[in-house]
Amino acid sequence: MIEFEDVTKRYPDGTVAVDTLSLRIPSNEITVFVGPSGCGKTTSLRMINRTIERTGGTISIDGEDINGKDAVTLRRGIGYVIQNAGLFPHRTVVDNVATVPKLLGWDKRKAHSTAMELLERVGLDPKLAGRYPAQLSGGQQQRVGVARALAADPAIMLMDEPFSAVDPIVRHQLQEELLRLQRDIGKTIVFVTHDIDEAIKLGDNVAVLQVGGKLAQFAPPAELLANPVDDFVRGFVGQDRGYRALTFVHPDDLPLKPLPEALAVQDGVPVGWRNGSATELLPIGSVFKRGDSLRAALDAVLTSPTGCGVCVDDDGRAIGVVDQATVAEVLRS
């Protein structure tokens, strides 16, 4: 657990970046700091590894004050990922990943083999190990950044807007992979973003900060959407928070209807909707899986040209449909 107690950062010119921030970041979960620019979220993050020194209050990790050991030792025990990855351009991918193990004095061969394992773990082709960062795409660089942060198996990983600079499709993939990775590794992750959607998607807990470094609300995302404490949080989580909250509704018993005649399937996989006598099929719209959120089911209904959202199994085969009336019924309940 990382504990902030009345933590303040005041710059010599009098600007207060973080103002008496107190919160407890639970272990083995993802905690997201979110807020508009100037809210002190990055400053708060960077005070944890002392790349920014606070001017008041205490920060402790598992009960130990972070000022108890020297900053360099502290940092080697905390993974760190930033926007654009910040990879060392003069080192190969595998050497970048092996950075911290080497700093810790590991045996060279062990550092190298650990780095290779991590590349695979973050979904990178081992063939890329000998490349230089400039030869990688933004998404690949960011994966290397995550691998580097995890190389020495730290208990804590700090992530400062790591996915902000990549395109939306790649960002979505990286987010999914972070969640998948986290299910395996269970690190204490502190994640900074200005994107409330990202915060809600990734966070087990979300700390909403407002300009001037004040904590507005600290809660799990479902709670944040359902009960924003004040106008600032209400405004920040957005107008469509009701719709977003459906992300956290998982109707296990959403009644499916049998596949209609109009749905064209190929080996069980839905390929489109028949449109009268026309030979061209209409697009299928988005599909959802059994056990997906109500948001996914509603989206499938809204994007389908027939008003019927298609539900598929894990292999992508159609197993049934829901119509508007069914979703509306679940929404009412």
Note the residues at the interface with another protein (CB under 8 A): 46, 49, 51, 72-73, 75-76, 78, 80, 82-92, 99-100, 103, 131-132, 134-140, 145, 148, 158, 166-167, 169-170, 173-174
Minimum distance, C-beta of residue 38 to another protein, in the bound complex (Å): 19
Q: Which is nearer to another protein, 105 or 258 (CB)?
A: 105
**Cα–Cα distance measured from residue 217 to residue 232, given in angstroms and rounded to the nearest whole number:** 10
Q: Which is nearer to another protein, 100 or 208 (CB)?
A: 100
Q: Which is nearer to another protein, 82 or 216 (CB)?
A: 82
Determine how many CB atoms are found less than 10 A away from the CB of residue 164.
Answer: 16
293: Cβ contacts below 8 Å, ≥ 6 apart:
246, 247, 248, 249, 250
Token pair listed for 41: 């979220």
Minimum distance, C-beta of residue 173 to another protein, in the bound complex (Å): 5
Q: Which is nearer to another protein, 151 or 237 (CB)?
A: 151
How far does the chain reach from its first CA to its final CA, in angstroms?
38
Minimum distance, C-beta of residue 225 to another protein, in the bound complex (Å): 29
Q: Which is nearer to another protein, 15 or 137 (CB)?
A: 137
143: Cβ contacts below 8 Å, ≥ 6 apart:
122, 123, 124, 174, 177
Cβ-contact 7, 66 below 8 angstroms: no
Minimum distance, C-beta of residue 51 to another protein, in the bound complex (Å): 5
**Cα–Cα distance measured from residue 136 to residue 329, given in angstroms and rounded to the nearest whole number:** 48
Minimum distance, C-beta of residue 74 to another protein, in the bound complex (Å): 8
Minimum distance, C-beta of residue 100 to another protein, in the bound complex (Å): 5
Q: Which is nearer to another protein, 73 or 227 (CB)?
A: 73
Written as one letter, the residue type at 172 is: H
Q: Dihedral of CA 101/107/112/116: which sign?
A: negative
